[in-house]
Amino acid sequence: MADLKQNIDKKQLESYKSLLTNLVEQKGTKTTGAIDKAFDTLIQKRSNDKTFYGKSLVVSVLNSAVVAVNEIGLGKSSVISLFLYYAFEKEGFDAQKIKTEYDETVWLITEGLTKISKINEKTSSSQAENFRRLLLNLAKDVRVILIRLAEQSYLMRQMNLMAQEEQVRIASEAMFLYAPLAHRLGLYLIKSEMEDLSLKFTNRDTYNMIARKLATTMKARKVFIEEFIGPIGKELKKQGFEFEMKGRPKSIHSIWNKMKRKGVEFEDIYDLFAIRIILKSELKNEKADCWQVYSAVTDIFQPNPLRLRDWISVPKTNGYESLHTTVIGPGGRWVEVQIRSERMNEIAEKGVAAHWKYKGLEGEQGIDEWLAKIRDVLETPEPDVNNFIDDFKLSLYSKEIFAFTPKGDLRKFPEGATVLDFAYDIHTDVGATCTGARVNGRNVPIRYRLQNGDKVEIQTSKNQMPKLDWLNFAVTTKAQKKIRQRLNEDKVKEAEIGKEIIKRRFKNWKVEYSDDIIRRILKNYRLPNAQEFYCNVSNGKIELSEIKDFITSEEAIFETETTSLEEFETTRKAPESEKTSEDVLIIDGKLKNIDYKLAKCCSPIMGDSIFGFVTINEGIKIHRTNCPNAAQMIGKYGYRVVKAKWTSKSPESLFSVDISIRGEDDPAILNSISEALAKDLKVSVRSISLNASEGLIQGTISLKVRNLKQLDFLLSRLSAIKGIYSVQRFEGN
């Protein structure tokens, strides 16, 4: 070891040695000299530097490398590239030197890390554009993204060391960008951890509630799991299988999502875990062994045939292979059982990186197909980056279906894909001229949603062309992009025709064509840009006689403003107030004569942790940091977020808040609630909406409070009423 390593403590030196050991034993690394050299360079250049949350930069980079190797499965080149990126982050890189001293692969990964480093910069550009840059690098070498995911994973584990605004920013960015990518790349453990940590730091009360209830039910779950797996294990041993079997709890975030989606309480969710059976099988016997184990399980417990998921015959695009079934366990409870080999399990946990270990197997082809599609999507710039990110984020999480061409070629699509998506997947021209299809021998329209196993023969016509409403049922990113691109081309042509019409008419009317007169027309018709105006002229939506009447009026002639036409030739820029600022917006309790409003989606009250969001038409909206929409706003429009906090002065206004309540259906409880609200708590109640069903009452109480402290006291008081099962603040939608 070099003397430079004396600059890190003994514990971290042990981590480095452990990292090298793992690379040698698990990844087949023959020599570690290049890694030593890169690590020494990092220490030499950055040994005195700190991260923004106060830790040694070298230690943080080392720990990120440990995550990349141990949890994602990356190897030597990735570790060297990570060390070199941070070593030369400040002074820049000498590409030729890195290529000479290391190799071309190390340079490509290092260069990729350099390019996507801007994703964390606070600029006035949209986060969606940063996301595009990240994906552009993904099309070159997926290891760049895997390293970035390792860094983000380690960073999120340090969030308890950060200020609250940084916690919210990082958590929102993870939910918006990194968790979907981890999901799509098959890194389910990292994806789940990111989602759980995001929930913990944006909605701590909910996180703690679910974590506490999971802990209290853990003993009962263990007893149930032992009762369930006992007969299965006995049968598998009898059949001669070598295996590992364990219960896998659902993540806190997934439980919370299910509670919101189904509108139920924690106690009403029964599938809090899944049983996983991992087989030690030879490659040639994997599928047969999985199906044999499936047979053994379903002989013991009754399966639900509608819940069988076969991802070993046709793996997911990200390479995921497993056999899932749901059976009725002891006590009539549904239990999900996942059956897979050790190889399949490693791919399921380490995703794309595990494919390098098993290169040449079927799953590798799926990854190549996915990367090829991303490259195709990124070939042409998308006019609206927000459309791009919304479409792509949906495709990251979507389920897959499989359809066939007339020749029997298999095509994969997201769930909900239509005949139109199939046509564009074949070729852009086929999609643009698609009129319908013959699916399984019968004619169907272009809106027809594909089903698993469909055989599709596309029908076209040279007279067909893309229409605006196609965007309503095209699902794939490629189809959406190509349709928008063609529509935009047609719009440009239409605008040129409208512009020529206006110029000719102005000449006939003896009116000078100028930027100023076009600007006044746009203002009169409230149009965002000149292209829209010219299109409306071309298609007859604006009458030429109306335009003549306006421009010859005295009001139009003498109106004076200095805005240039160029401002209207493109879409409007973000207002000055949207720029990133370190100033903090102070919110008081008067709520009078101010330029901000309280958001209805989360109903913040005095004392809540809040932020401001600059809207286009309604000024600044104040949201709670745990608002259901916070992750999307901060992740997608970070440049429009304004720091905000409540003033310490006593409020003069009351704040609207809704609470959800659930309890025993008993008239005495209703009286107790009313009495507590009216007499003990003396709050202003706006409405009470409670429904009784099967011995339970549940519903919402809308009221007004002075601040968060009063609300917490109110919730505590109502929770103490006998027969009340749960009382909590309504989280919004």
Q: Nearest CA to 493 among 536, 535, 527, 464?
A: 535
190-229 burial, b if ≥16 CB within 10 A, otherwise e? Answer: bbbbbbbbbbbbbbeebbebbeebbeeeeeeeeebbeebb
Structural domain ending residue among the three candidates 626, 646, 666: 646
Extract the tokens encoding 90: 């400040």
Q: How confident is the model at residue 1 (pLDDT cuts 50, 70, 90)?
A: very low
**What residue type is 124 in one-letter code?**
S
Per residue in 578-588, pLDDT (tens digit) is 333 445 667 76
**Are residue 663 and residue 632 in the same domain, yes or no?**
no
How far apart CA 433 and CA 464 sit, in angstroms, is 5
| 74 found inside a domain | yes
Structural domain ending residue among the three candidates 569, 598, 632: 569
In this predicted model, which residue has the larger pLDDT, 468 or 299? 299
How far apart CA 701 and CA 688 sit, in angstroms, is 4
Within the chain, how many helices (H) and strands (E) appear? 29, 19
How far apart CA 182 and CA 150 sit, in angstroms, is 10
**Are residue 12 and residue 89 in the same domain, yes or no?**
yes
**Are residue 616 and residue 703 in the same domain, yes or no?**
no
**What residue type is 433 in one-letter code?**
T
CATH code of the domain containing 284:
3.30.460.10
**Are residue 623 and residue 666 in the same domain, yes or no?**
no
Structural domain ending residue among the three candidates 316, 333, 364: 364
3-state secondary structure of 26: coil
Q: Tokens 């901060």, residue? A: 634
Instruction: Report the range of poorest mean pLDDT among 81-90, 223-232, 346-355, 710-719.
Output: 346-355
**What residue type is 148 in one-letter code?**
R
Strand partners, 410: 404
- Residue 130 pLDDT: 52
Q: How confident is the model at residue 126 (pLDDT cuts 50, 70, 90)?
A: very low
| Contact by Cβ (8 Å): 516, 558 | no
Percent composition of the chain: helix, strand, coil (DSSP 3-state, to 5): 55, 15, 30
Instruction: Report the range of poorest mean pLDDT among 15-24, 46-55, 117-126.
Output: 117-126
Phi and psi (nearest 5°) for 433? -110, 10
| 328 found inside a domain | yes
| 356 found inside a domain | yes
Q: Tokens 């990120």, residue? A: 64
**Are residue 565 and residue 581 in the same domain, yes or no?**
no
Q: Which of 115-129, 337-351, 652-666 has the highest mean pLDDT?
A: 337-351
| Contact by Cβ (8 Å): 596, 587 | yes
**Are residue 212 and residue 248 in the same domain, yes or no?**
yes
| 174 found inside a domain | no
Q: What is the 8-class DSSP label of residue 122?
A: -
| Contact by Cβ (8 Å): 367, 319 | yes
Order of strands across the sheet that contains 309-310: 243-249, 273-279, 334-341, 323-328, 309-310
| 376 found inside a domain | no
**Are residue 502 and residue 523 in the same domain, yes or no?**
yes
How far apart CA 178 and CA 169 sit, in angstroms, is 13
Strands 400-404 vs 454-460: parallel, antiparallel or unpaired: parallel
| Contact by Cβ (8 Å): 616, 638 | no
**Are residue 142 and residue 209 in the same domain, yes or no?**
no
| 468 found inside a domain | no
| Contact by Cβ (8 Å): 297, 322 | no
How far apart CA 186 and CA 77 sit, in angstroms, is 21
How far apart CA 59 and CA 69 sit, in angstroms, is 15
- Residue 295 pLDDT: 94
CATH code of the domain containing 693:
3.30.70.260
How far apart CA 718 and CA 700 sit, in angstroms, is 13
**What residue type is 579 in one-letter code?**
K
How far is the CA of 215 from the CAs of 211, 212, 221, 252, 725, in angstroms? 6, 5, 10, 11, 18
In this predicted model, which residue has the larger pLDDT, 454 or 640? 454
How far apart CA 624 and CA 205 sit, in angstroms, is 13
- Residue 377 pLDDT: 47
- Residue 538 pLDDT: 84
Strands 610-614 vs 641-646: parallel, antiparallel or unpaired: antiparallel
Q: How confident is the model at residue 234 (pLDDT cuts 50, 70, 90)?
A: very high
Q: Which helix (H) or strand (E) holds 73?
A: none
Share of the chain above pLDDT 90, in %: 19
Number of domains the chain contains: 5
Q: Nearest CA to 91 among 34, 131, 127, 44?
A: 44
- Residue 76 pLDDT: 86
How far apart CA 564 and CA 541 sit, in angstroms, is 25
What's the chain's average pLDDT? 79
**Are residue 12 and residue 141 in the same domain, yes or no?**
yes
**Are residue 673 and residue 721 in the same domain, yes or no?**
yes
Strand partners, 656: 704
**Are residue 640 and residue 543 in the same domain, yes or no?**
no
pLDDT, average across residues 338-359: 77
- Residue 564 pLDDT: 38
Terminus-to-terminus CA distance in the chain, angstroms?
56
Q: Is 80 exposed, middle or buried (0-12, 13-18, 19+ CB in 10 A)?
A: buried
How far apart CA 361 and CA 312 sit, in angstroms, is 12
Strands 410-414 vs 434-439: parallel, antiparallel or unpaired: unpaired
| 666 found inside a domain | yes
Instruction: Specify the length of the chain in residues.
Output: 733
| 449 found inside a domain | no
Domain span at residue 616 reads 576-646
**Are residue 136 and residue 250 in the same domain, yes or no?**
no
CATH code of the domain containing 47:
1.10.3210.10
- Residue 117 pLDDT: 73
How far apart CA 417 and CA 415 sit, in angstroms, is 6
How far is the CA of 477 from the CAs of 11, 388, 459, 482, in angstroms? 47, 8, 22, 9
- Residue 339 pLDDT: 96
Strand partners, 612: 622, 642
- Residue 553 pLDDT: 64
Dump the DSSP string for 329-373. Answer: -GGG-EEEEEEEEHHHHHHHHHTHHHHHHTTTSHHHHHHHHHHHH
- Residue 558 pLDDT: 40
In this predicted model, which residue has the larger pLDDT, 628 or 362? 628
